[in-house]
């Protein structure tokens, strides 16, 4: 997936937030202004505390993430991925990915319409529209979770479809390197737990032998 995109900000999605969360955002921004700090008017939410930004992303993204079959039953992985998502946008008639090219991002669409198409051996095209609440680039999750060890960025999955925008599209992106970092940390944590568990078993057996 060739991510020829522009960065956008969480403020773009503020109208999708509940009123109490919007009030919290405005309260923080007001405090910044009262302290006479310079504020980025194009991206005001970058000034918010990390925990507030995470709360916003969870509210916006978790409903979409839970639609992904590989994630719906894994709350820990859901949270880790949600924290890594970055808001992005594509202009109208942009090519997000081409069939046969590497996929380096998975997109969760918040606004706009995307066209997915593929051709068979007879050059017959099969296509579908997707939009708000849908996702594309699911091959990336298969790549990240398929093996017993962290995936390699030199072996990215290949797109089976061409994905293009039909309108301006706002989305959240999970990048391949961020997914690899998540998987690597989970493997390290699992290895540490396994080592601790093996140590406990050995000590227990030694104690039983000693008592016996």
Exposure on the CB side of residue 39, measured as CA atoms within 13 A? 16
Determine, yes or no, domain membership for 205.
no
Determine, yes or no, domain membership for 199.
no
Strand order in the sheet with 162-165: 95-97, 162-165, 114-119, 125-130
* pLDDT at residue 2 in the model: 40
65, 179 in Cβ contact below 8 A?
Answer: no
* pLDDT at residue 131 in the model: 95
The total of structural domains in the chain comes to 1
Q: How far is CA 127 from the centre of its chain?
A: 24
Determine, yes or no, domain membership for 88.
yes
Determine, yes or no, domain membership for 197.
no
* pLDDT at residue 3 in the model: 41
Q: What is the mean pLDDT of each run of 10 residues along the chain (212 residues)?
A: 47 70 79 71 68 85 90 84 89 93 94 90 80 93 82 91 94 93 74 50 57 53
Structure tokens at 110: 């918040």
Residue span of the structural domain in which 105 resides: 6-191
* pLDDT at residue 197 in the model: 47
* pLDDT at residue 20 in the model: 81
* pLDDT at residue 194 in the model: 44
């Amino acid at each position: 997936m060739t991510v020829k995109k522009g960065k956008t900000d969480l403020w773009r999605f503020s109208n999708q937030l509940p009123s109490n969360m919007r009030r919290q955002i405005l309260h923080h921004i007001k405090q910044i202004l009262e302290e006479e700090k310079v504020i980025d008017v194009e991206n005001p939410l970058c000034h918010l505390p990390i925990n507030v930004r995470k709360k916003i992303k969870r509210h916006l993204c978790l409903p979409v993430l839970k639609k992904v079959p590989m994630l719906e039953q894994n709350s820990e992985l859901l949270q880790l991925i949600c924290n890594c998502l970055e808001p992005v946008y594509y202009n109208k008639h942009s090519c997000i990915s081409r069939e046969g090219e590497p996929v380096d991002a998975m997109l969760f669409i918040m606004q706009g319409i995307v066209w997915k198409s593929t051709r068979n051996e007879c050059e017959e095209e099969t296509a579908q529209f997707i939009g708000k609440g849908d996702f594309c680039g699911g091959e990336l999750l298969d790549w990240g979770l398929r093996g017993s060890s962290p995936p390699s960025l030199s072996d990215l999955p290949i797109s089976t479809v061409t994905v293009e925008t039909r309108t301006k599209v706002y989305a959240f992106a999970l990048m391949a390197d961020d997914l690899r970092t998540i998987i690597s940390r989970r493997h390290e944590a699992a290895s540490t737990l396994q080592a601790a568990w093996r140590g406990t078993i050995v000590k227990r057996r030694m104690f039983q032998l000693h008592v016996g």
